[in-house]
Structure 1
């Protein structure tokens, strides 16, 4: 049940009637006709821009269209009033029973808020994809939470979603990992490790060194790396991926697919992807212009194999092969995305760190070329997180060596708090994570405020049951909701009605942070109603001696709890029934 969709359909139907009557021409485009909440709630329940967007193509003054449309709309029993404002905006007020019907819909329809927007379309959400060289850091944490919540949001909106992790195990960084692990292997044998510049210094590799000792004994000691590099690289990578899986589990993140970069080499997959581009005349031998900001003496022109990415929206063409014949880092990424296109996804989403901003256009160009422009690629960049505790920047983790780990954050704040707070800003905005503030019990702490609303509802349900009231959903669906018509109660109902619309807006924009914002607003309206009851006894949820009114009021707040639970489920946060 999406009231805004229903009212837009009514507006379109009334416009068709006006066309039949000759007030406006027939066949006008209505794609841009919207029905939305007004900017100022005092103006009404909904507003439509129909007259404004149709005036020019109709050749009719917007006010004329608005007046005629208002006269048609008020004939519908759902519309209490339709008022023309300004040059032609139309503000609508709906009958109270329409809002009361929203409560029944929430309680009776298990799919309330879910959408058919995705209509079974297959979408691949690739996120985290951290190099398998150590534990996940706080930047990965935000990307993991964002990607996981986005995947849940899209599934809620009807998409067939695959969560995927791309293991970057084909580059030089895994050789550095192997050399770092070898030094810890030497350390496990009582030798002094040489953790020289360029190696990974974190203590987490001590355990890997011990595991290598248990597996190989002393057979690798004092051997050249040609004897051990490949084996230790594979061993250490597997160990790191086990650590990363454990980190993800702490956040309740579970991937559907783990894909390996290394698996692309020697299998013909890279060559096949490049051949696909070559068929389109997009691969050539050439020399790039010097990078911006470089002096000519700092740059040597070299002929390279290039992808003509400028034909697909990029700023410059991109090298796919080095002058020595080796693939660039871009080549396996092209092959990996070609593999996703071939797997039949209708939409690809990549979640990258902010430092990958320069990679966006080239990757979009590659997918556009490989799919013939049929598979969109949306790349979401995750901005930095700054950690604070006791008013000071949170110190680096000794275990990690150079950064604060995901485990550091989750162990201090908990998975629920971590996940919710990471979604309180849009992905491309920096985020401050203050351990003191995210754990305090106040309105300024959004996760507490939302969970507290859910817990408060359940406290009322427990008290009602103790008083002998039937507060099962089956009983509440039959409650007489005409008994809840105070403006403060209607305000909560209007907010509930926003849920289906909000889901579609958030899913269209790939913006899960909108869910967190909405839940805070819904919780705020609920807490406001609760507080009003402190002064006005008629607004209290339990009305002594009046079971029917109590049941109606409880139906309203039970609907609030249902929607909060659904929203928190998308964010991956537990909806608590009692605050501790």
Structure 2
């Protein structure tokens, strides 16, 4: 935030002139009530004892020094036990319009992550069925995180970990094979509950029969393998198509099977054994994770010689770091919460610092229709696919709603609400802010009025205008906080605030004034800056900013 950075620099200068050190616990933040100013500083409270002065006395000295240090400060007042409240001049806030105009589509971007290579792995759904609405939330979170990191200067790669090895793949092959036999009348037993129940399994089986009528006569092992390979390919194509339609892109699709096939799992386990992090006991191979913060040690290879999922996960993360990433972010379902300590232990065992690994947890989505929750069960094949939701409400609505709450909190997705073109619909509320500005600009242009750069921004003195300008100032910091905090929802929260201030301004002030073209031009520039910021924020969420609605 430009205001915070500016005040921080001024404070450093003032404290140096007063012969005082910079307190480690200094806070510079907006007061709870804006009538007390734009920013509040607690330095005097922290330094009073060291200086031997009452906090308010020291605060008065600091306030006087700050007031004289910059023409940007309109007021510096002492409040409470010793806070200094700062109020900036309208001219200081008006300068945000020039910054927004100059930076355009880059407004809010930074070089925060310059020189750092990041990887975000997300969705990574088992290719055993179509993506459902829960996968959609994880896809929106991961893709938005990639956009935010890139906007913040990080070199960022988006990756999908393809779980194409293990029992679930064998179950997929078996499920299709049994449906094939069922379709030709060879099956006399009920379809197993442990198999995948969805209608898509039957559709795959039917399609395979149309391509190869002799399929049911193949030896079972050969038939199941063919069913697995065909099913995997078809389902994966469907997943990729759904993600493309959802504006989600992965740079890399990484195969779990490749880790096992090229011996990387064994090499990783041997390396960890050599470093003392892996040991053998009771005929099994164990990871000594309890020594690194986990609640107990974990099995990597069972006594029957089969590898656990965790063994592949360790090798996969070792592979990530070996590819040169400084840090990795995994997007997981909230049911994997208990998996985090053992993975953190794994990262430490691989010789990486704690900050080189982060996890974003994504909670369940409760899909609501006509006020009732839609029952969903993936195994039973009873769920709303992402494809169906997108057809129902559209990409913009789905992405914004998925990102409208903290990802590890449960989300009620009201299908009826997001179809409505009303201010109660948060997607419409924000997008309409952009469209509303564009409509005003078109009307002004029809009257021959433009956003002349020479217009006097000093005319923007109304409280509603200053509130908008203060909010514009927050955007770069919100983006940085979203990047460092792995929190895309910060962007949607901010956009709701900015849109609300825009709608309030529009309700109170007429923008196009035929009798005052100078005032009109200034207001048009303000609104154009708001629209630019809304557009930039929506882009980070993967949502379009329409010019008309």
**TM over 0.5: same fold?**
yes
* Gapped regions of structure 1 (runs ≥ 5): 287-301, 534-539
Q: Match for residue 46 of structure 1? A: 39
> Using the alignment, how far apart are the partners of 2:99 and 2:252 within structure 1?
36
Asked if residue 415 in structure 1 is aligned to residue 391 in structure 2, the reply is: no
> Using the alignment, how far apart are the partners of 1:171 and 1:523 within structure 2?
48
Q: CA deviation at 1:62?
A: 3.6
Q: Which is worse superposed, 204-213 or 124-133? A: 204-213
Q: Match for residue 539 of structure 2? A: 569
Asked if residue 523 in structure 1 is aligned to residue 502 in structure 2, the reply is: no
1:287-326 equivalent positions in 2, closer than 5 A = 302-326=282-306
> Using the alignment, how far apart are the partners of 1:12 and 1:97 within structure 2?
23
Q: TM-score, normalised by structure 1?
A: 0.90
Q: Which is worse superposed, 259-268 or 557-566? A: 259-268
Q: Match for residue 515 of structure 2? A: 545
> Using the alignment, how far apart are the partners of 2:183 and 2:9 within structure 1?
71
Q: CA deviation at 1:549?
A: 1.2
1:74-85 equivalent positions in 2, closer than 5 A = 74-75=67-68, 76-85=70-79
Are the counterparts in 1 of residues 107 and 536 from structure 2 also a CA contact under 8 Å?
no
Q: Match for residue 14 of structure 1? A: 14
Q: Which is worse superposed, 368-377 or 234-243? A: 368-377
Which residue, out of 246, 261, 266, partners 1:266? 261
Q: CA deviation at 1:274?
A: 1.4
Q: Match for residue 2 of structure 2? A: 2
- Residue 18 of structure 2 aligns to a residue whose secondary structure is helix
Q: CA deviation at 1:311?
A: 2.5
> Using the alignment, how far apart are the partners of 2:323 and 2:183 within structure 1?
45
Are the counterparts in 2 of residues 35 and 48 from structure 1 also a CA contact under 8 Å?
yes
Q: CA deviation at 1:187?
A: 5.2
Q: Match for residue 139 of structure 1? A: 134
Are the counterparts in 2 of residues 187 and 209 from structure 1 also a CA contact under 8 Å?
no
- Residue 341 of structure 2 aligns to a residue whose secondary structure is helix
> Using the alignment, how far apart are the partners of 1:400 and 1:168 within structure 2?
20
> Using the alignment, how far apart are the partners of 1:112 and 1:124 within structure 2?
24
1:154-173 equivalent positions in 2, closer than 5 A = 154-173=149-168
> Using the alignment, how far apart are the partners of 2:198 and 2:503 within structure 1?
46
* Gapped regions of structure 2 (runs ≥ 5): none
Q: CA deviation at 1:569?
A: 0.2
> Using the alignment, how far apart are the partners of 1:253 and 1:487 within structure 2?
40
Are the counterparts in 1 of residues 347 and 354 from structure 2 also a CA contact under 8 Å?
no
Are the counterparts in 2 of residues 345 and 375 from structure 1 also a CA contact under 8 Å?
no
**Cα distance 1:115–1:60, how it changes in 2: closer, same or farther (>3 A)?**
farther
Q: Match for residue 201 of structure 1? A: 197
- Residue 261 of structure 2 aligns to a residue whose secondary structure is coil
Q: CA deviation at 1:205?
A: 2.3
**Cα distance 1:60–1:314, how it changes in 2: closer, same or farther (>3 A)?**
farther
Which residue, out of 303, 310, 313, partners 1:330? 310
Deviations 1:130-154 (A, max 9, x none): 0000001111111111111111111
Deviations 1:18-74 (A, max 9, x none): 22xxxx3x4x454x4332222221111112233334456666654344222212211
> Using the alignment, how far apart are the partners of 2:31 and 2:108 within structure 1?
21
Which residue, out of 325, 331, 344, partners 1:351? 331
Asked if residue 506 in structure 1 is aligned to residue 482 in structure 2, the reply is: yes
Q: Which is worse superposed, 106-115 or 126-135? A: 106-115
Asked if residue 240 in structure 1 is aligned to residue 240 in structure 2, the reply is: no
Q: Match for residue 92 of structure 2? A: 98
**Cα distance 1:88–1:166, how it changes in 2: closer, same or farther (>3 A)?**
same
> Using the alignment, how far apart are the partners of 1:417 and 1:524 within structure 2?
18
Deviations 1:320-376 (A, max 9, x none): 111112111100000000000111111111111111111111111111221332662
> Using the alignment, how far apart are the partners of 2:377 and 2:422 within structure 1?
29
- Residue 91 of structure 1 aligns to a residue whose secondary structure is strand
Which residue, out of 524, 532, 557, partners 2:527? 557
Q: Which is worse superposed, 310-319 or 351-360? A: 310-319
**Cα distance 1:364–1:478, how it changes in 2: closer, same or farther (>3 A)?**
farther
Q: TM-score, normalised by structure 2?
A: 0.95
Q: CA deviation at 1:489?
A: 0.8
Q: CA deviation at 1:402?
A: 2.3
Q: CA deviation at 1:396?
A: 4.7
- Residue 330 of structure 2 aligns to a residue whose secondary structure is strand
Q: Match for residue 291 of structure 1? A: none
**Cα distance 1:469–1:303, how it changes in 2: closer, same or farther (>3 A)?**
same
Are the counterparts in 1 of residues 433 and 502 from structure 2 also a CA contact under 8 Å?
yes
Which residue, out of 65, 68, 76, partners 1:72? 65
Are the counterparts in 1 of residues 396 and 543 from structure 2 also a CA contact under 8 Å?
yes
**Cα distance 1:545–1:184, how it changes in 2: closer, same or farther (>3 A)?**
same
Q: Match for residue 379 of structure 1? A: 359
Which residue, out of 170, 174, 177, partners 1:179? 174
Asked if residue 463 in structure 1 is aligned to residue 454 in structure 2, the reply is: no
Q: CA deviation at 1:403?
A: 1.7
Q: Which is worse superposed, 448-457 or 374-383? A: 374-383
- Residue 514 of structure 2 aligns to a residue whose secondary structure is coil
Q: CA deviation at 1:189?
A: 4.8
1:418-457 equivalent positions in 2, closer than 5 A = 418-457=398-437
**Cα distance 1:163–1:54, how it changes in 2: closer, same or farther (>3 A)?**
farther
> Using the alignment, how far apart are the partners of 1:365 and 1:204 within structure 2?
39
How many residues are paired up? Answer: 546
Deviations 1:151-206 (A, max 9, x none): 11111111111111101111100111111122343456565696322111211123
